[in-house]
Structure 1
Amino acid sequence: MSATILRYKYVPLDDSFKKPPDYKDGSLCIIKVGTIKFTHPKDFNDPFDCYPDIDGKAISKAYGQDKAFFKELGRRRNLSPAQRIQEKPKQLKNIEKAQNINELLNNEVGICSLSRNLLNLLMWAHYASSHTGFVVEFSVFNEHLSLNDAINCSMTCLVPFPVNYKKEKPIITSRDLFYEYFLIKGEDWEYEQEERVIDLSITHN
Structure 2
Amino acid sequence: MAIATSIFKYREFNKSSIELLLNKELWFAPPKILNDPFECQMIMPEMLDSIWRHHTISQSERNEIEKYLKVRLNEVGICSFSRTRQNQLMWAHYADEHKGFCIGFNEEKLIKNTKPVHAQDVVYQDELPYEGVIERIKYFASNPPAQARFQNSTNSIVGDILSSSIGVKYTNWKYEKEVRLLKARYGAYEFDSSSVKSIAFGLRMEDRDKRTLRALLSGDEWAHLLWFEARKLPDKFGLEFIKI
Q: 1:177 aligns with which of 160, 175, 183?
A: 160
Q: 1:50 aligns with which of 37, 40, 46?
A: 40
Local SS of the residue matching 2:17: coil
Matches within 5 A, 1:52-67: 52=42, 53-54=47-48, 55=51
Between structure 1 and structure 2, the one with the greater Rg is 2
Local SS of the residue matching 1:188: helix
Supply the distance in 1 between the matched residues of 2:84 and 2:92 (Cα, whole angstroms): 14
If each structure's strand is expressed as a fraction of its own residues, which one has the higher value? 2
Matches within 5 A, 1:104-119: 104-119=71-86
Supply the distance in 1 between the matched residues of 2:75 and 2:166 (Cα, whole angstroms): 12
Cross-structure match for 1:8: 8
CA contact under 8 A between 1:109 and 1:204: conserved in structure 2? no
Count of residues paired in the alignment: 156
Matched residue type, 2:6: L
CA contact under 8 A between 1:38 and 1:112: conserved in structure 2? yes
Cross-structure match for 1:20: none
CA contact under 8 A between 2:126 and 2:171: conserved in structure 1? yes
Supply the distance in 1 between the matched residues of 2:28 and 2:2 (Cα, whole angstroms): 25
Matches within 5 A, 1:94-109: 94-95=63-64, 98=66, 101=69, 103-109=70-76
Local SS of the residue matching 1:107: helix
Distance 1:100 1:126, change over 3 A: farther
Q: 2:127 aligns with which of 132, 144, 168?
A: 168
Q: CA deviation at 1:204?
A: 3.1
Supply the distance in 2 between the matched residues of 1:31 and 1:154 (Cα, whole angstroms): 15
Q: CA deviation at 1:48?
A: 0.6
168-177 or 39-48, larger mean C-alpha shift: 168-177
Q: Deviations over 1:159-200 (max 9, x none)?
A: 532100011112145334133221100000000000000100
CA contact under 8 A between 2:29 and 2:186: conserved in structure 1? no
Cross-structure match for 1:37: 27
Matches within 5 A, 1:63-102: 92=61, 94-95=63-64, 98=66, 101=69
Cross-structure match for 1:70: none
Q: 1:122 aligns with which of 89, 102, 108?
A: 89
Q: CA deviation at 1:130?
A: 1.7
Q: 2:178 aligns with which of 194, 202, 205?
A: 194
Q: CA deviation at 1:99?
A: 5.4
Local SS of the residue matching 2:173: helix
Q: CA deviation at 1:140?
A: 1.7
Distance 1:105 1:159, change over 3 A: closer
Distance 1:141 1:163, change over 3 A: same
CA contact under 8 A between 1:12 and 1:132: conserved in structure 2? yes
Supply the distance in 2 between the matched residues of 1:110 and 1:59 (Cα, whole angstroms): 29
Q: Which runs of 5+ in 2 are unaligned?
A: 135-156, 189-244
Matched residue type, 1:182: I
Q: CA deviation at 1:42?
A: 0.5
- If asked which structure has higher relative contact order (CA below 8 Å, sep 6+), I would say 1
CA contact under 8 A between 1:123 and 1:192: conserved in structure 2? yes
CA contact under 8 A between 2:124 and 2:170: conserved in structure 1? yes
Q: CA deviation at 1:58?
A: 8.1
Supply the distance in 1 between the matched residues of 2:113 and 2:5 (Cα, whole angstroms): 20
CA contact under 8 A between 1:141 and 1:159: conserved in structure 2? no
Percent of matched pairs sharing the same residue: 28
Q: Which runs of 5+ in 1 are unaligned?
A: 17-25, 65-88, 143-149
Over aligned residue pairs, what C-alpha RMSD do you find? 3.4
